[in-house]
Chain A
Amino acid sequence: MNPAIQSLLLIQGVLVGLLTLAGLLVWIERRLLALWQDRLGPNRCGPFGILIFVADGIKMITKEDWIPPGADKPVFILAPAIIVITALLSFTIIPLAPGIAILDLNIGILFFLALSSMGIYSTVLGGWASNNKYSLLGGLRMSAQMFSYEVFMGLSLMGVVILSGSLNLREIVEAQSGMWFVLPQFAGFLIFMVAGLAETHRLPFDMPEAESELIAGFHTEYSSMKFGMFFVGEYVGLTVISAIIVTLFFGGWQGPFLPPFVWFALKTLFFILFFILLRAALPRPRFDQLLAWGWKFILPLALLNLVVTGAIVLARAG
């Protein structure tokens, strides 16, 4: 087959797959939260309530698409698009199976970090453009949270880069054929997971939208499908973070017996479910606690991890 058509089909497949997964995650998350909180959850629409996301979609599209009179109209419309675009683009560099990735980029990790730092603008600008004090507070919280946690998000990945000697995600997966990097880089894995949670601003780190303090934070004024895009962006972001964790620390598509893609999908699904469990299990910290904890505890830990990993690799190289 023509390689151009092949890659177009792959892009189409990933796009459809990701967006369907984002829809299904709405149902999975609500059902699982209900299970853990001893409730029933959505169970009316279709078998086990699985069609709830279709119903939600129809509801959102038919709602009035309202722009507040005081809002900054172009920025208000631009903001929800940014998060969907950056989240979907981040997925392009992830190797799904041997030889199957949309982009085989030699600066893969940096590409992911760059896109995740672009994704912040969605929430920050959305919060600002709404012309609402709660939204603005949400946006301010998001920007403070991000430039705190982005620092060691990058640092925590450098241990993996040192061990594999590459920034290319395909080569990093191949370097893990002997041992998954989660073992030598356990601290890096934990730090990256915390930073990833802060990045996708999901509970326990959802200070930008903290509904008990800020109504709905940065998307208070959003309605209809613009609100839906923030939601889709959040679930795609969650999937991307899980897939990156799997790729960098848990051997990507590597595994015995089952086909590579099945391994990749299973591991990614495991981390998505784990993040949903975290949401059900952990309370939200206070905002200043979150920032102080980041700078005073995680940042030194990330630096220590980097220095120790570098020293050990140098010592073993002789």
Chain B
Amino acid sequence: MEIAFYIVAAVAVLTTLRVVTHTHAVHALIYFIVSLLSVAILFYLLGAPFVAALEVIIYAGAIMVLFLFVIMMLNIGQEQVNQERAWTRPGVWAGPGLVAFVLLAVIGWVISEGQPARSETEFVGPAEVGVALFGPYLIAVQLAALLLLAGLVGASHLRRHERRTIMSEDNVQHETDETSTPGRGKGGTD
């Protein structure tokens, strides 16, 4: 199992590097998806299958599709690739590279101090995750729910604002479209 961990970890690191260095946005995004998938496999190997599945469903599945949705609309071609290449000259890497090197040095120092990471894993099933979320971490769950609700209300508010301006600027046709939709939907299921 340990060899599997190192292979998957290497894939994760390499694909993440490609995400940063690739000049084509969609290709970088595909590398990002592979990177998230390999992180999910790492979770699975470390005994957390539930988190692994959620990683794939939420990050690699839902959020990356949203990213792709936006990037697809931008119509990225060779021009953007050249522009990106011009922006990411070797000199640009100096600052981030230095900071990352500090992190690498710190983790190397910590490992050499002889604090080995726990290699034995214990299996955590979905039920245990649920008990933990609604037991000791209940307040954190509630706070996250509040935050998400605020995000939802904010998105809804932005959408309303946009629709009102469209209606006042363009015509009333838009309004009739919007109002007829849910009514018809309900009619279809009765």
Residues of A within 8 A of B (CB): 72, 74-75, 78, 105-107, 110-111, 113-114, 117-118, 120-121, 124-125, 127-128, 136, 139-140, 143-144, 146-147, 150, 154, 167, 288-289, 292-293, 296-297
Contact = CB atoms under 8 A, between A and B. Distances in A.
Contacts of A121: 33, 65, 68
Contacts of A167: 126
Given A75-B27, A106-B49, A117-B57, A296 B62 contact: no
B53 A107 contact: yes
A120 B60 CA distance: 11
B182 A297 contact: yes
Q: Enumerate the 9 nearest inter-chain pairs by beta-carbon distance, A residue then B residue, closest first.
A: A117-B61, A110-B53, A293-B185, A114-B56, A292-B181, A143-B69, A296-B182, A107-B49, A128-B72
21 contacts: A78-B30, A107-B50, A107-B126, A110-B53, A110-B57, A113-B53, A114-B57, A117-B62, A117-B65, A118-B56, A124-B69, A125-B26, A125-B30, A128-B72, A140-B69, A143-B72, A144-B69, A289-B184, A289-B185, A293-B182, A296-B185
B73 to A, nearest CB: 7
B166 interface: no
B62 A150 contact: yes
A170 to B, nearest CB: 15
Q: What does DSSP make chain A's interface, helix, strand, loop or mixed? A: helix
A147 B66 contact: yes
A139 B68 CA distance: 10
A106 B50 CA distance: 9
Contacts of B69: 124, 140, 143-144
A173 B69 CA distance: 37
B54 A110 contact: yes
A75 B26 contact: yes
B18 to A, nearest CB: 13
B125 interface: yes
B61 A297 contact: no
A140 B75 CA distance: 12
B164 interface: no
B79 interface: no
Interface in B15-62: 26-27, 30, 33, 49-50, 52-54, 56-57, 60-62
B177 interface: yes
Given A110-B50, A150-B62, A140 B73 contact: yes
B118 interface: no
Nearest to B127: A165
A114 B57 CA distance: 5
Contact of B189 (A74, A154, A297): A297
A170 B171 CA distance: 56
A297 B30 contact: no
A140 B188 CA distance: 26
A297 B68 CA distance: 27
B68 A288 contact: no
B64 to A, nearest CB: 8
Contacts of A128: 26, 68, 72
Given A75-B27, A293-B181, A124 B65 contact: yes
B161 interface: no
Which residue among A72, A75, A78, A121 has the maximum number of chain B CB atoms within 10 Å of its CB? A121
Contact of A297 (B73, B125, B177, B186): B186
Given A106-B49, A114-B57, A143 B65 contact: yes
Interface in B157-190: 177, 181-182, 184-186, 188-189
A300 to B, nearest CB: 11
Nearest to A133: B75
A125 to B, nearest CB: 7
A72 B57 contact: no
A74 B26 CA distance: 11
Contacts of B60: 114, 117-118
Contacts of A120: 61, 65
A139 B61 contact: no
